Chain A
Amino acid sequence: MATACAGVTVTWGGAALEEVVDIKVNAGGSLPIGRDSVIALDAGTIEIACLHTANVSLAERGLKKTLAFTGGGLECSTKAIFQTLNMAGKVNDVARYNVSYRIVME
């Protein structure tokens, strides 16, 4: 039976992204940088859309923190670098925020 994607919380460095409406995780990407290493600097991307606040500042761009998902069949945690923040406003609608992270494996 399919898992209902509800009751999900998302945090980056312990700060919650609020009113998340969409999550896309594309894990994988580049190979480890050494034969005996698990370190990969570009191990995929995560894109999250929310209606309230992404709870990040552009001053944090490039910082690596733990991105954690709980609930709704999305239980996982990974190191991720905050990369981009998009804000969109449209007439007669609410503001929407999109934030992307780059997964780091180490």
Chain B
Amino acid sequence: MADTPHDGTGTVLRLGATQYTVTNIVIQYTDPNADAEKIDVSHLGLTTGASILTQDRPLQGSTSDTGRTVQFDYLGKAPIADASTGTCAITIGGTAISGFSGVAYTVNASTLTLATNDAIRGQATIRIARV
């Protein structure tokens, strides 16, 4: 059987000491200080070919806005409490994902779905501390 090195088998997600039976994980990296967040101060006096001018916004983003979140779906009947904190770990085949393992997390949102003739499914979004 051919190797499938790019699939997600062997992926483990732990929040603290609890390992979840996850069915889907979305990891998001966003730079809160990216140029897109700056003010475009280009003007008509610029000549053709000149670079777009940007200026930092006068206010800084919240320190709690790390720009890194993980959204995951899991099977299980235990809801994840909102605002709970701890240390998370995400590994693929035993290899930790840089920036997302051994770092502090805070739960932003959590849902638990109970439906007829289906497993109990949960979904959570956690904010990862930038290290």
A residues contacting B by CB (< 8 A) are: 4-10, 18-23, 50-51, 72, 91-94
Contacts and interface: CB of A to CB of B under 8 A. Distances in A.
| Interface of B: prevailing SS | loop
Given A4-B48, A6-B50, A7-B48, A91 B59 contact: yes
A9 to B, nearest CB: 6
B62 to A, nearest CB: 12
A105 to B, nearest CB: 25
A20 B45 contact: yes
Nearest to B47: A7
B44 A8 contact: yes
A92 B56 CA distance: 9
B39 interface: yes
28 contacts: A4-B48, A5-B44, A6-B44, A6-B47, A6-B48, A6-B50, A7-B44, A7-B46, A7-B47, A7-B48, A8-B45, A18-B45, A19-B43, A19-B45, A20-B43, A20-B44, A20-B45, A21-B44, A22-B44, A50-B43, A51-B43, A92-B57, A92-B58, A92-B59, A93-B39, A93-B58, A94-B39, A94-B41
Q: Does more than half of chain A's interface fall in helix, strand or loop, or is it mixed?
A: loop
Contacts of B50: 6
B28 interface: no
A94 B55 contact: yes
Contacts of A50: 43
B59 A21 contact: no
Interface string B30-68: 000000000101111111101000010111000000000
Contacts of B47: 6-7
A74 B47 CA distance: 14
Nearest to A3: B48
Given A6-B50, A93-B39, A94-B39, A72 B55 contact: no
B43 A7 contact: no
Contacts of A91: 59
